[in-house]
Each structure stands twice: as C-alpha cells, then as structure tokens.
Structure 1
C-alpha cells in the first residue's frame, strides 16, 4: 500500500467521523484564585463543532486521493 492510498483512507475515515459526531467536547481546568494554601479551580467544558462542509470536503478529497493512488504511472 502506498502513501496516497493510506492518506485517502485516513481522510475518508476522518470525514465520516466528523460527519457522524458533529464535533467533540473537552474539559479544561483553570485556576480562578490562589490564596495561600487554598486554590480555587474551575472546570470549563469546551465544545468544538466540526462544520458539515469540512467533513464532506474531507470525504471528497479522500476519495480523489484514493482514486489517484490506484493509478499506475
């Protein structure tokens, strides 16, 4: 398997994952206040949305790269 085929497959898989999940979230710990030995931390949940057009574009680009990977020079 050459690099073009692997890249095409990875782009298709990432595009499908972004299309089906729509995004992901993570928790970020931040220090709000520090008073001597006491420390106040705040947990914030951040949400990252993956645009639908980006997922579809990754699938399309992956298909093109995969098709070009099967061509013989």
Structure 2
C-alpha cells in the first residue's frame, strides 16, 4: 500500500472515531496529603471535547489523500 493511501486511511478511521466519540474522559489521581503513613488522594475527572468539525475535516482530507494516492502511478 502506498504511504499516501495509508495516511489517508488512518485519517478516515480517526475522523470517524472522532465523530462517534464526542468526549474523552480522563481520571487523574492526585495526592492531597502525604504525611508519613497517612495518605489522602483525590480522583479528578477531566473531560476533553472532540469538535465535530475536526472529525469531518479528518475524513475529508483522508478521502482526498486516498484518491490522490490511488491516482498517481
């Protein structure tokens, strides 16, 4: 498979995944108090939104790369 086509397919897959999954949630564990044997931790959840336009652009650019990559000989 040509490198340009491969990059295009990867962009298409990532773009579709970005359209299906609207947000990515990450749970981070932070230590609040660490005093000898006493340890207090706090779970903090962060949400990272994935813009819809980013998924659409990735799919369109990926399709363009696949078409250009298959057309060149």
Q: TM-score range by the shorter chain?
A: over 0.9
Structure 2 match to 1:61 = 61
Aligned length: 73
Structure 2 unaligned blocks of 5 or more: none
Structure 1 unaligned blocks of 5 or more: none
TM-score (norm 1): 0.92
Deviation at 1:37, TM superposition (A): 1.4
After TM superposition, the runs of 4+ consecutive aligned structure 1 residues lying more than 3 A away are none
Secondary structure of the 1:33 match is: strand
Q: Distance in 1 between matches of 2:36 and 2:72?
A: 69
TM-score (norm 2): 0.92
Deviation at 1:7, TM superposition (A): 0.5
